[in-house]
Amino acid sequence: MSETEPLRVAVLAGGRSSEHEVSLSSGCAVREGLQRAGHEVLWVQIERDGAWQREGERLSLCPGEGLLGADVVFAALHGPFGEDGTVQGLLEMLGVPYVGAGVTASAVCLDKVLFKQLMSSTNTPQVDYLGVREQRWQSAKVQVIREIDSLGLPVFVKPAHLGSSVGIAKITARDELIPAIEVAFTLDPLVIVEALARGVEVECGVLGHSHAEQASGAALALASEPGEITFAGEFYDYAAKYTPGGMELKVPANISPAARERVKELALEAFEHAGCEGLARVDFFVDGEEVLVNELNTMPGFTPTSVYPKLMAASGISYPGLLDRLCRLALERQEQRQLSGTA
């Protein structure tokens, strides 16, 4: 298949997670962008009960038989049952190329605690944190609270496997802590408590290079110009992310040249350490010259207000061009696997 030949792209959107509506918005934007790039789009909606539907009819999937004859799949899914390796594993079983991280990287990066443990093993500077499993919380609550106390106040309590700032609470008084953790456990059996990080919130997009580009001396991926997130509320919550005007992205970020280069360096390192492919958005806190990694998102939002496409646009990559490149990278990965006998 030539690099300019139009593709049949199956776009998956919706899903079983609490980010269902965000995913639908991302998927619609991806569909329109792919069509502008000249590709045929096959819309597949995953309902809240997990059923896959195409034009109102339930799909029946069979291992090794692909998906609707699509050349590649763009799974614009966020959160559990979409961004956590489950759908990626299913697509592997179907034998169809797909955009973005594989099974392992998807699973690791959606688990905020596991991701931070991985970053710790590579000495990546990051926010202080504590992971708390529900079983330990029930059996050793006093000890857990002591450990959380060492982080100081304020802290942020988050469900470990949800994105889009779903279920996050900022705790400024000790008596708020237990109720916030109990609420977080209604969303996820693993909760992460993070110390407050000073400075500004900065995000950096990562986009993979093709094998040809790497053979010509390019790195594994390119890092976008970092952008600074500003918002009116106390922290970057769900409303700020998805309400028009709720946040502002400033590109370039108002940080020093040295901090800007450090953000880009750490974004590429985190991408590589986690085994990501195709794309990612890496989030940071920057305080003067100190740069801390916060988290990595393997399928960042593609909605009209989403940061990742804006960062790439500011780095000279148009939205249709970005989607086309991601699909071509997915095809290249599949071709390399077939050549090596692993697909």
Cβ pair 188, 139 in contact under 8 A: no
> What mean pLDDT value characterizes the chain?
93
Cβ pair 157, 187 in contact under 8 A: no
* pLDDT tens figures, 55-88: 999 999 999 999 999 999 999 999 999 999 999 9
Quote the CA–CA distance of 5 and 109 in Å, as a whole number: 33
Take residue 245 and report the two structure tokens written for it: 């005007």
Quote the CA–CA distance of 90 and 336 in Å, as a whole number: 19
pLDDT of residue 247: 79
Domains of the chain, with CATH numbers? 8-100+325-340 (3.40.50.20), 107-125+198-317 (3.30.470.20), 129-195 (3.30.1490.20)
Exposure pattern of 295-328 as b/e (b: 16+ CB <10 Å)? bbbbbbbbbebbbbbbbbbbbebebbebbbbbbb
Task: List the pLDDT tens digit at each of the 343 positions of the chain.
Answer: 567 799 999 999 999 998 899 999 999 999 999 999 999 999 999 999 999 999 999 999 999 999 999 999 999 999 999 999 999 999 999 999 999 999 999 999 999 999 999 999 999 999 999 999 999 999 999 999 999 999 999 999 999 987 656 779 999 999 999 999 999 999 999 999 999 999 999 999 999 999 999 999 999 999 999 999 997 666 555 555 556 666 799 999 999 999 999 999 999 999 999 999 999 999 999 999 999 999 999 999 998 789 999 999 999 999 999 999 999 999 999 998 887 777 6
Residues sharing a CB contact under 8 Å with residue 274, sequence separation 6 or more, in sequence order = 101, 105, 108, 109, 115, 118, 280, 296
Three-class HEC string of 1-55: CCCCCCCEEEEEEECCCCCHHHHHHHHHHHHHHHHHCCCEEEEEEECCCCCEEEC
Quote the CA–CA distance of 310 and 252 in Å, as a whole number: 11
Name the pTM for this structure.
Answer: 0.92
Beta-bridged to residue 202, according to DSSP, are 228, 284
Exposure pattern of 183-204 as b/e (b: 16+ CB <10 Å)? ebbeebebbbbbbbbeebbbbb
Give the total residue count for the chain: 343
Cβ pair 16, 6 in contact under 8 A: no
Rounded to the nearest 10 degrees, how much is the dihedral formed by the CA atoms of 305, 307, 312, 313? 30
Quote the CA–CA distance of 288 and 256 in Å, as a whole number: 7
